[in-house]
């Protein structure tokens, strides 16, 4: 993977999706300019990864379902866009190790804490994996709310919140489940605030 290809693909996708969904990006100035970032967003569409990818100010490494890596052409494309595989519904230790390494190297790890799309748009309970990453590193944890639905030429908002202060939870060694719920609460607040706006 080269940054050049990522940037090229980002430009193409941005040129298509931004006018189609009238994407509005809010709060991006709060996004840390350097250092490891755990970017956590709600999940309402298969288009969420590219939409977050084109609105975030830094390249993102996403976890992607393992099935995408089985077809050679799709595998090559997905890998060239920074993604790495994760087995859904089980404790994938290799994916956890890769995610930790991404954060420790000062990159941005993108994750959808719910694990799968919400078909009705309502937030689901977060899986503990996001809490694991938040507690095991000192990466900044940035909540992101995608305020849909996806309808052509109807405004779609991507809202970035301020980094979440995880220090108290890290200090008292909170459980991954507790940390995951804490992160989802921040995403919920962003959603509620901007759904009303």
108 forms bridges with which residues in the sheet? 37, 60
Share of the chain above pLDDT 90, in %: 71
| CATH code, domain carrying 70 | 3.40.1130.10
pLDDT at 132: 95
pLDDT surpasses 50 at 1: no
Q: How far is CA 29 from CA 39, 56, 128, 141, in A?
A: 14, 10, 28, 15
Mean pLDDT of the chain: 90
Predicted model pTM: 0.90
Query: Which domain does 35 fall in, by range?
Result: 3-194
Tell me: the pLDDT tens digits for 68-89?
A: 777 776 667 777 777 887 776 5
Number of domains in the chain: 1
pLDDT at 120: 83
Q: Which residue has the tokens 């060694």?
A: 173
Mean pLDDT to the nearest integer, 136-154? 95
Q: How many CB atoms lie within 10 A of CB 70?
A: 9
């Amino acid at each position: 993977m080269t940054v050049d290809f990522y940037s090229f693909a980002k430009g193409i996708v941005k040129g298509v999706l931004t006018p189609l969904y009238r994407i509005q990006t809010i709060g991006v100035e709060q996004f840390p300019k350097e250092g490891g970032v755990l970017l956590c967003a709600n999940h309402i569409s298969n288009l969420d990864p590219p939409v977050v990818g084109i609105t975030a100010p830094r390249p993102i490494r996403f976890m992607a379902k393992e099935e995408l890596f089985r077809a050679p052409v799709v595998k090559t494309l997905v890998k060239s866009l920074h993604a790495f595989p994760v087995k859904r519904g089980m404790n994938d230790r290799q994916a956890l190790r890769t995610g930790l390494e991404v954060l420790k190297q000062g990159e941005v790890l993108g994750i959808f804490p719910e694990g799968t799309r919400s078909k009705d748009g309502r937030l689901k309970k977060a899986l503990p994996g996001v809490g694991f990453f938040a507690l095991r590193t000192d990466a900044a944890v940035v909540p992101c709310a995608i305020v849909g639905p996806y309808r052509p030429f109807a405004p779609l908002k991507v809202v970035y919140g301020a980094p979440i202060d995880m220090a108290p939870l890290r200090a008292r060694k909170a459980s991954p489940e507790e940390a995951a719920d804490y992160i989802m609460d921040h995403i919920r607040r962003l959603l509620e605030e901007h759904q009303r706006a």
